[in-house]
């Protein structure tokens, strides 16, 4: 970081202050001047637009009054015609003199006439429309437009009155209707607008219109002569027809106007004679402001004003102010530097003496030498020098103390170094002891995992042993019955042979003994079939347990075989087990031995913990979709509290450890489902409402189910 002396800091501060103050003044002047100039320009623009609006409105009102005057004359002459007070020649002459006099006094109009409905003025005349128009030689009168070839009744300027229902919607004495701008192709051949005044008879029935034609060349020339700024360009648009009547040089083609972004904004609702503007208009790589107004006569009068014109005067004043301010600032800075040099010369001499009073011979305290300052002058620095000499005396005292403390510090430093070396040795010794303890703990952990695996395997074999014991008990019953039936058969056969030898056998006796033999054979066959089914189910489970391999099988059929193998054990406790939803086969690619071991342990857990009374029920159900299959095992036993159901899959957790249970059965179930079968298992239970185990397995963890 830069460090400056006092003089430099003062100079930098003054320069920054001057720049900030000068910049603020310039910004303030720029903003205020710009604001005032814009206000002035706005007033000038408003005045200019006001003049234009007044001229357009005055002209349109003058033409409307003239059309009304002609309509009144037309109505008066119509009444004279109907009353036959004047001859036709006298009436025709009246029409001519009226029109000539009227338009000689109205040079703003290019022409006009009085036009009657078919057969309205004269029942013999289909067309009756005297017309007068301006020429280079003066005002000319003509009847040439009152014929079938021209057919003024079909002209747009006449039909607009008919289509507007003769101005019936206007609540005025004499309705006025303006046409859209058009080119006259009959007499003047110029761009014009026509104002129609409706003529009525005494019964307010329309009898025709009087017209005054207004050439737009004069008004467009007037619009072009108006300049808001040096390079501004004015335009005039007829609002109703959206015709551009006066084009600025930037946009000379009418076809280009509808594509402009701001064109549609010109036709939004705007009070008459009020001023509006659109900013940020970009044309020909220049920025413009558009100012426009809407006249009472239905025209949009506007101007494109270059932004550069508005900013030109501001920039000129800004640069002049900047130049003068820079010269004043430079002069002020030069005076300031001279003043600082004169002001700080005594301070510089005192500072040089202070620097010379302190010498550094080495980096330690003993190498620092402080000498008192001899200052014989009497001025504002004398008290400072005296105070500084007192400080020097204290500094010398402190240097002596520091030297003494440094010597003591060196002794302490050597002692700390020795203690650090002893500490490092002890850290190494403790690290070695910690390593030995870690190895011992790892060995114990491996032994613990091995013991846990052995306990799990023992629990698996114990579960299988319980299954074998139940199956053997179940087989023993049908085998005993079969042996008894076989003994009865042997006894009957021996008795039958004896009677045959003694020739004492009768027909009835033979039939009775044959019946007993047949009945014993049926009993023996049924029990041997039951024994065969039990052996087949157990053999299937035993074979699956031995293979521990994935293959395709029908889950429903396999669960039925597992339930058959569990029936002896379930019936021994006088309980019931049933497989639900076994109508359709469920193909699955999985390990059947693992599934049977899961079902065996869940059922064994239910028989051990769920039922305190006989006749409990265990239900096994299945659900499936395209990707997964669910096996639901539920019972209607005592259920579990939430604390027990949350810990049921933890290893060595059991509520009947005193009964010899290890607490590994459900942990084995959880490991088989999640690790070997790649599924998950959930337990839901409430006290007194039984328990439900939901096993979700993938139908094909390797994507092989067809």
CB atoms within 10 A of CB 668: 21
Q: Taking Cα atoms as reference points, which of 308, 278, 310, 309 lies closest to residue 293?
A: 278
Query: What is the model's pLDDT at position 330?
Result: 79
d(CA 349, CA 620) in angstroms, rounded, equals 108
Of the pLDDT bands very low, low, confident and very high (cuts 50, 70, 90), residue 547 is: very low
pLDDT the model gives residue 15: 75
Specify the DSSP element, H or E, that contains 414.
Answer: helix 382-501
If pLDDT is split at 50, 70 and 90, which confidence band does 704 have? very low
R_g (Cα) of the chain, nearest Å: 61
Question: How, if at all, do strands 628-635 and 176-178 pair?
Answer: unpaired
Residue 170 near residue 225, CB atoms below 8 Å: no
Of residues 168 and 323, the one with the higher pLDDT is 168
Query: Quick check: 705 pLDDT over 50?
Result: no
pLDDT surpasses 80 at 457: no
Q: Alpha-carbon distance 513 to 494, whole Å?
A: 11
Q: Hey, how many other C-beta atoms are within 10 angstroms of the C-beta on 395?
A: 14
Is the distance from CB of 692 to CB of 684 less than 8 angstroms? yes
**How far, in Å, CA of 673 to CA of 635, rounded?**
20
What one-character DSSP code corresponds to residue 284? T
Q: Is the pLDDT of residue 355 over 60?
A: yes
Burial of 359 per CB tally in 10 Å (0-12, 13-18, 19+): exposed
Q: What is the pLDDT of residues 2-41, one digit of tens each?
A: 566 666 777 777 778 777 877 777 667 666 766 776 677 7
Q: Tell me how far the alpha carbon of residue 704 is from its chain's centroid.
A: 43
The full 3-state SS of 7-61, as one line of letters, equals: HHHHHHHHHHHHHHHHHHHHHHHHHHHHHHHHHHHHHHHHHHHHHHHHHHHHHHH
Give me 180's structure tokens.
Answer: 């859209």
**Res 308: pLDDT:** 80
**663 and 652 in contact (C-beta within 8 Å)?**
yes
Find the mean pLDDT for residues 222-228.
76
Q: What is the mean pLDDT of residues 369-398?
A: 76
Higher pLDDT, 363 or 582: 582
Share of the chain above pLDDT 70, in %: 86
Distance CA 542, CA 465 (A): 11
Report how far residue 284's alpha carbon sits from residue 291's, in angstroms, rounded to the nearest whole number: 18
Q: Give pLDDT, residue 460.
A: 58
Q: Find, among 160, 133, 163, 136, the residue nearest to 145 by Cα.
A: 133
Query: Which two three-digit tokens encode residue 598?
Result: 């899961």
In total, the chain counts a number of residues equal to 706
pLDDT in tens, 356-378: 777 766 555 456 677 777 777 77
Q: Measuring CA to CA, how many Å separate 638 from each of 607, 641, 660, 661?
A: 11, 10, 20, 19
Euclidean distance between CA atoms 666 and 674, whole angstroms: 12
Mean pLDDT, residues 491-503: 82
Check residue 397 and give its pLDDT: 79
Residue 263, both tokens: 């064109």
Mean pLDDT, rounded, for 82-101:
91
**Is pLDDT above 80 for 472?**
no
Lookup: tokens for 380: 């504002």
Give the distance, in angstroms, between the CA of residue 16 and the centroid of all CA atoms in the same chain.
46
Average pLDDT across the chain, whole number: 81
Distance CA(254)–CA(264), nearest Å, equals: 14
Q: What tokens were used for 459?
A: 């629990």
Q: If you average pLDDT over residues 695-700, what whole number do you get?
A: 90
Confidence of residue 108 (pLDDT cuts 50, 70, 90): confident
572 DSSP assignment: H
CA–CA distance, 705 with 695 (Å, rounded to integer): 19
Mean pLDDT over residues 491-510, rounded?
82
Could you tell me the pLDDT band of residue 533, with boundaries at 50, 70 and 90?
low
What residues contact 666, with CB distance under 8 A and at least 6 apart?
Answer: 601, 602, 605, 648, 649, 653
CB-based contact 255:230 (threshold 8 Å)? no
Q: State yes or no: pLDDT of 453 exceeds 70.
A: no
Question: How many whole angstroms separate alpha carbon 191 and alpha carbon 201?
Answer: 32
**430-450 pLDDT, tens per residue?**
888 888 888 888 887 788 777
DSSP 364-412: SGGGEEE--------STTHHHHHHHHHHHHHHHHHHHHHHHHHHHHHHH
Q: Using pLDDT thresholds of 50, 70 and 90, give the confidence band for residue 96.
A: very high
More confident residue, 501 or 679: 679
Residue 258, pLDDT score: 83
Question: What confidence score (pLDDT) does residue 510 get?
Answer: 82
CA–CA dist 588, 558 (Å, integer): 11
Report pLDDT for 143. 93
The pLDDT value given to residue 706:
41
- Mean of the pLDDT values across residues 182-200? 80
**pLDDT tens for residues 274-332?**
788 888 888 888 888 888 888 877 788 888 888 887 777 667 766 777 777 778 877 87
Architecture in CATH of 548-698: 2-Layer Sandwich (3.30)
Whether residue 157 contacts residue 179, with contact meaning beta carbons closer than 8 Å, is answered with yes
Query: pLDDT digit string (tens) for 556-565?
Result: 888 888 888 8
Three-state secondary structure string covering 317-357:
HHHHHHHHHHHHHHHHHHHHHHHHHHHHHHHHHHHHHHHHC
* Cβ–Cβ < 8 Å for 555, 588: yes
Q: How confident is the model at residue 220 (pLDDT cuts 50, 70, 90)?
A: confident
Kindly state the average pLDDT of the residues 671-681: 91
Q: What is the pLDDT of residue 278?
A: 85
Distance CA 669, CA 595 (A): 9
What gap in Å lies between CA 467 and CA 94, rounded to an integer?
136
What percentage of the chain reaches a pLDDT higher than 90? 19
Q: What are the boundaries of each domain within the chain?
A: 548-698
Is the CB of residue 120 less than 8 Å from the CB of residue 207? Answer: yes
Q: What is the rounded average pLDDT of the residues 158-172?
A: 91
Question: What span, in angstroms and rounded, lies between the C-alpha atoms of 121 and 207?
Answer: 8
Q: Which of 404, 313, 240 is closest to 44 using CA atoms?
A: 313
CB-CB contact of 681 with 693 (8 Å): yes
Task: Give exposure, 481-509, as e/b (b: 16+ Cβ within 10 Å).
Answer: bbeebeebbeebeeebeeeeeeeebeeee
Q: Which of 50-59, 105-114, 188-197 has the highest mean pLDDT?
A: 105-114
Looking at residue 543, its pLDDT comes to 42
| In the predicted structure, residue 609 carries a pLDDT above the cut 50 | yes
Q: Which residue is listed with tokens 């036993």?
A: 637
DSSP lists the bridge partners of residue 289 as 305
Place of tokens 């054990």: 569
Which of 72-76, 184-188, 243-247, 525-529 is predicted with the least confidence, judged by mean pLDDT?
Answer: 184-188
What is the Cα–Cα distance from 460 to 457, expressed in whole angstroms? 5
Which of 45-54, 111-120, 403-412, 656-665 is least confident?
656-665
Dihedral in degrees, nearest 10, Cα atoms 57, 61, 67, 72:
170
pLDDT at 210: 95
What average pLDDT score do residues 128-152 get? 91
Mean of the pLDDT values across residues 141-164? 91
């Amino acid at each position: 970081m830069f460090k400056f002396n006092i003089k430099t800091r003062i100079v930098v501060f003054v320069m920054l202050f001057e720049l900030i103050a000068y910049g603020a003044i310039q910004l303030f002047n720029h903003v205020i001047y710009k604001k005032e100039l814009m206000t002035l320009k706005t007033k000038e623009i408003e005045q200019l637009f006001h003049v234009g609006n007044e001229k357009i409105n005055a002209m349109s009102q003058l033409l409307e009054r003239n059309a009304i005057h002609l309509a009144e004359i037309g109505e008066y002459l119509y009444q004279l015609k109907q009353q036959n007070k004047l001859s036709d020649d006298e009436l025709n002459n009246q029409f001519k003199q009226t029109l000539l006099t009227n338009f000689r006094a109205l040079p703003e109009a290019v022409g006009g006439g009085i036009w009657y409905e078919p057969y309205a003025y004269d029942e013999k005349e289909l067309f009756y429309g005297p017309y007068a128009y301006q020429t280079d030689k003066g005002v000319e009168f003509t009847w040439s437009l009152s014929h079938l070839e021209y057919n003024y009744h079909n002209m747009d300027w006449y039909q607009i009155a008919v289509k507007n229902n003769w101005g019936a919607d206007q609540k005025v004495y004499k309705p006025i209707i303006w046409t859209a701008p058009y080119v006259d192709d009959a007499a003047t051949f110029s761009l014009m607008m026509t104002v129609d005044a409706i003529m009525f008879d005494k019964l307010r029935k329309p009898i025709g219109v009087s017209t005054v034609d207004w050439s737009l060349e004069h008004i467009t020339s007037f619009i072009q002569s108006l300049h808001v700024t040096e390079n501004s360009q004015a335009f005039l648009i007829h609002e109703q027809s959206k015709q551009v009547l006066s084009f600025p040089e930037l946009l000379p083609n009418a076809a280009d106007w509808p594509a402009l972004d701001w064109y549609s904004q010109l036709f939004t609702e705007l009070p008459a004679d009020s001023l509006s503007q659109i900013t940020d208009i970009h044309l020909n790589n220049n920025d413009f402001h558009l100012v426009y107004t809407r006249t009472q006569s239905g025209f949009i009068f506007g101007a494109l004003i270059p932004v550069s014109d508005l900013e030109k005067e501001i920039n000129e004043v800004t640069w002049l102010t900047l130049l003068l301010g820079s010269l004043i600032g430079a002069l002020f800075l030069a005076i300031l530097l001279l003043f600082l040099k004169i002001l700080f010369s005594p301070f510089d001499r005192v500072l040089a003496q202070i620097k010379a009073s302190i010498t550094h011979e080495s980096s330690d305290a003993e190498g620092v030498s402080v000498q008192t300052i001899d200052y014989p002058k009497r001025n504002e620095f004398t008290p400072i020098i005296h105070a500084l000499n007192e400080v020097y005396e204290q500094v010398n005292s402190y240097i002596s103390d520091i030297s003494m403390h440094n010597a003591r510090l060196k002794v302490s430093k050597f002692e700390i170094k020795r203690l650090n070396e002893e500490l490092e040795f002890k850290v190494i010794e403790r690290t070695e002891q910690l390593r030995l303890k870690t190895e011992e703990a790892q060995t114990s952990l491996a032994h613990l995992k091995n013991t846990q695996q052995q306990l799990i395997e023992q629990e698996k074999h114990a579960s299988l042993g319980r299954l074998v014991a139940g199956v053997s008990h179940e087989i023993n019953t049908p085998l005993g019955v079969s042996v008894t039936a076989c003994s009865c058969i042997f006894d009957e056969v021996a008795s039958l042979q004896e009677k045959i030898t003694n020739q004492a056998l009768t027909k009835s006796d033979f039939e009775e003994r044959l019946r007993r033999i047949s009945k014993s054979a049926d009993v023996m066959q049924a029990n041997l079939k039951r024994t065969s089914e039990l052996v087949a189910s157990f053999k299937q489970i035993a074979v699956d347990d031995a293979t521990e391999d994935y293959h395709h099988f029908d889950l429903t059929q396999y669960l039925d075989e597992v339930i058959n193998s569990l029936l002896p054990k379930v019936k021994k406790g006088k309980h019931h087990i049933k497989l639900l939803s076994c109508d359709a086969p469920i193909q699955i690619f999985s390990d059947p031995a693992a599934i049977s071991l899961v079902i065996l342990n869940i059922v064994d857990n239910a028989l051990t913990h769920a039922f305190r009374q006989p006749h409990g029920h265990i239900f096994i159900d299945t659900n499936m979709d395209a990707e997964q299959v669910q096996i639901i095992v539920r019972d209607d036993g005592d259920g579990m509290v939430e604390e027990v159901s949350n810990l049921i899959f933890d290893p060595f957790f059991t509520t009947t450890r005193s009964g010899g249970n290890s607490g590994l059965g459900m942990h084995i179930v959880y490991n088989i489902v999640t690790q070997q079968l790649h599924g998950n298992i959930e337990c839901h239970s409430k006290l007194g409402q039984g328990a439900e185990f939901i096993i979700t397995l993938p139908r094909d963890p390797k994507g092989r189910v067809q």
